[in-house]
């Protein structure tokens, strides 16, 4: 792919994106506008995340791409291949070995460490979007820290469902200042946002916004005193590796209502099976 510049984008574009990233890191949780480029993929497939990843990659990096926790789904495979071809970087499926991880809708189960960069694909960066449709007004609300409306959403949840039913894209407050949409990660992952040693970058391509959490940023999930935040997951263990503390996908296995629960993080699950852990439906020594 010598016809293209390293990591697809030209150097001036990468420079522009890096400036937005640096500003985002300087003001944690603040949505920085950037001149999002047309990418060779449709909006909604991670155009924002891909641009941020492209701006962060160096030839020495090792890239991991996950989609809903899995390394082997269409979105993850195609983005990984894209950077293999356009940047020639090494790729991996192991969370611990990756230097840059692009993710859609999950934070890996394996704790991240210093020096790693986690890039989120964000469809709608504005947490107040569906509460207040005017962008001029939401910007003003961020500016003046008028976040009462966010709690109106949570109030409506409790009034209607008896509990805070928002299960993903659960709003958080960053360093007691900006309210931020953590992208549609399950709220199970919200506690991992806070005090994380890795750099967390959020890219929204269609909406042309980048925001960031520098390492060890305090991130608090919004809640009520009498309805505290709860990082919920399906009340099961993984049927393949037996893990009781990882986020699970529910898989329907036949048309008679049988189902199994498996870790959504495929790398985590495979690692546990390789280490000899076996779940309800797993076979000992069956890990690939």
User: Which residues of the chain form contacts with another protein (CB under 8 A)?
Assistant: 144, 146, 148-149, 151-152, 155-156, 158-160, 224-227
Q: How far is the CB of 144 from another protein (least distance, A)?
A: 5
| Phi, psi torsion values for 180, nearest 5 degrees | -130, 145
Interhelix angle 74-87/47-56, nearest 10 degrees: 30
Q: Which is closer to another protein, CB of 216 or CB of 224?
A: 224
Q: Which is closer to another protein, CB of 130 or CB of 258?
A: 130
Q: Which is closer to another protein, CB of 96 or CB of 149?
A: 149
Give Dmax over CA atoms of the chain in angstroms: 59
Q: How far is the CB of 225 from another protein (least distance, A)?
A: 5
Q: How far is the CB of 156 from another protein (least distance, A)?
A: 5
The DSSP secondary structure of 222-238, one letter per residue, reads: --BTTB-------SS--
Question: Which residues are annotated as catalytic?
Answer: 29, 238, 241, 263, 269
CA distance linking residue 33 with residue 40, whole number of Å: 21
End-to-end Cα separation, the chain, in angstroms: 32
Q: How far is the CB of 150 from another protein (least distance, A)?
A: 8
| Phi, psi torsion values for 77, nearest 5 degrees | -65, -45
Q: Which is closer to another protein, CB of 145 or CB of 195?
A: 145
């Amino acid at each position: 792919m010598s016809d293209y510049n390293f990591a697809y984008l030209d150097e001036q574009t990468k420079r522009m994106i890096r400036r937005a990233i640096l500003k985002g890191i300087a003001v944690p949780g603040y949505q920085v506008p950037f001149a999002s480029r047309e990418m060779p993929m449709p909006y909604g497939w991670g155009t924002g995340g891909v641009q941020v990843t492209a701006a962060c990659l160096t030839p020495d990096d090792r890239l991991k791409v996950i989609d809903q926790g899995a390394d082997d789904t269409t979105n993850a495979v195609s983005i990984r291949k894209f950077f293999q071809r356009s940047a020639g970087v090494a790729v991996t499926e192991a969370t611990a070995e990756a230097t840059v991880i692009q993710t859609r809708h999950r934070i890996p189960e394996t704790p991240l460490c210093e020096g790693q960069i986690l890039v989120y694909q964000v469809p709608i960066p504005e947490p107040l979007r569906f509460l207040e449709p005017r962008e001029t007004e939401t910007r003003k609300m961020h500016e003046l820290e008028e976040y009462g409306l966010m709690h109106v959403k949570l109030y409506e949840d409790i009034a209607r469902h008896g509990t805070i039913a928002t299960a993903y894209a659960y709003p958080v407050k960053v360093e007691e200042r900006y309210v931020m949409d953590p992208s549609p990660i399950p709220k199970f992952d919200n506690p991992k946002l806070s005090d994380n040693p890795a750099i967390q970058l959020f890219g929204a391509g269609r909406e042309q916004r980048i925001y960031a959490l520098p390492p060890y940023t305090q991130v608090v999930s919004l809640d009520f005193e009498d309805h505290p935040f709860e990082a919920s997951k399906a009340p099961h263990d993984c049927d393949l590796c037996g893990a009781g503390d990882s986020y699970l996908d529910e898989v329907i296995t036949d048309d008679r209502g049988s189902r199994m629960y498996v870790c959504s993080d495929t790398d985590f699950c495979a690692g546990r099976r390789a280490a000899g852990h076996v779940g309800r439906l797993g076979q000992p020594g069956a890990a690939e």
